[in-house]
Amino acid sequence: MIKPHGSDTYHPLYVMDDAERAALAKEAEGLPAITVCSAAAGNAVMLGGGYFNPLPGYMKKADVLGVAKEMKTTSGLFWPTPVVNMVEDASAIKDAKQIALKDPNVDGNPILAVQEVEAIEEYSDDEMKMICEKVYGTLDEKHPGVAAFMSVGKVGIAGPIKVLNFSYFEKDFPGTFRTAYSIREEIEKRGWKKTVAFQTRNPMHRAHEELCRMAHKDLEADGILIHMLLGKLKKGDIPADVRDNCIRTMVDNYFPKNTVMVTGYGFDMLYAGPREAVLHAVFRQNCGCTHLIVGRDHAGVGDYYGPFDAQKIFHDQVPEGALELKIYEADHTAWSKKLNKVIMMRDAPDHTKEDFILLSGTKVREMLGNGEAPPPEFSRPECATILMNYYQSIDK
């Protein structure tokens, strides 16, 4: 099986032993505590689940700045985005050696993890700006990732963590949320030697469905991991439970049995385009996947990135050998009226835009909100019904 990223052995930070976890949870009740921001909570969930192997916890400033500038920690580990616990004010825990991290996303703010405090470091305005420019490619605070990063404070609390639970994800998405280590075990159990991952924060339409099929066929893969983000999104994105229902309905009806795993991970979307695509590659390798589909506008938002910047970064900025996982580069896919099937646009040089069925996200939302299903060449009717019901419920 493909090695985990950055280490020969695998180090999820969830405390797996029941007795040890119960003892630590009890001890944590007596520790100085802070309620972390949603992004830091998501980082804890990813660290606990083995997605961010081999990181031991939240990064020190020197590592954060190295990751932002060169995608490299001070130890030389390849890593594309900062993994931080940022706060506005750390004075309440300034002398603490160990602290309890409380969950901002669950009622009552239960303890999510215990952190050793290795360093409390303030970031200058210039350092915060540099991080945004390098990671998000912009300082525009209309960018949802920049807005989120700049809003949570400039003080970083660094140090290793032990994770006690997976926040709301296990309870709210019991059939979908999976840790990287459980996905890895499942892939091994199924005997899949070659697994291609598909990242999504949206419902899957026909183009996405066929893209998974194309990659599966072209790579001669044994299986497909459809891996959806379950954490916080920007306003207007479709909620995770609706997406989950759509994707499972599509897989159950249109894919052969035992060729697809539908799972999700607990993390807030960064909308960091190319850098986030590299992060997706890192943690899909930790899941046991050998390939990741990277298509048009992967992990992007608005017009901040070029349509294929998320592919270019793997050629231009990811060092040879930094990742074992390989990228499957996809073009825009759409239904060809000439060929009566979904194809990649690059494979049809004789086609014009008029030869494809192309609908904007705004148009699709408008149709669904009006109770009008998109054409079956664009969206499976079963999925369109789920989405129509959702949009009509919020438009009432």
Residues 6+ apart with CB under 8 A from 364: 374, 378, 379
Average pLDDT over residues 300-314: 96
Does 4 have pLDDT greater than 90? Answer: yes
Least confident of 174-188, 222-236, 248-262, 341-355: 222-236
Does 142 have pLDDT greater than 90? Answer: yes
Single pTM value for the model: 0.96
Average pLDDT over residues 347-368: 92
pLDDT, residue 263, reads 97
Question: Does 202 qualify as catalytic in the annotation?
Answer: yes
Domain boundaries, the chain: 18-170
Distance CA 111, CA 20 (A): 15
Eight-class DSSP state of 32: -
Q: Which CATH class is domain 18-170?
A: alpha beta
Q: What percent of the chain has pLDDT over 90?
A: 92
Distance CA 82, CA 247 (A): 30
Q: CB burial class (10 A; 0-12, 13-18, 19+) of residue 110?
A: middle
Average pLDDT over residues 133-152: 97
**Long-range CB pairs of 352-361, under 8 A, 24+ apart, other chains included:** 358/334
Half-sphere exposure of 343 (CA within 13 A, CB side): 16
Question: Does 213 qualify as catalytic in the annotation?
Answer: no
Pairing label, strands 57-58, 155-163: antiparallel
Does 84 have pLDDT greater than 70? Answer: yes
pLDDT, residue 128, reads 98
Does 48 have pLDDT greater than 70? Answer: yes
Cβ atoms within 10 Å, residue 208: 21
pLDDT, residue 237, reads 80
Average pLDDT over residues 306-323: 97
Catalytic site residue from 21, 109, 190, 201: 201
> Which of 115, 112, 104 lies closest to 45, judged by CA?
112
Catalytic site residue from 21, 109, 190, 202: 202
pLDDT, residue 396, reads 63
Distance CA 273, CA 335 (A): 25
Distance CA 187, CA 195 (A): 8
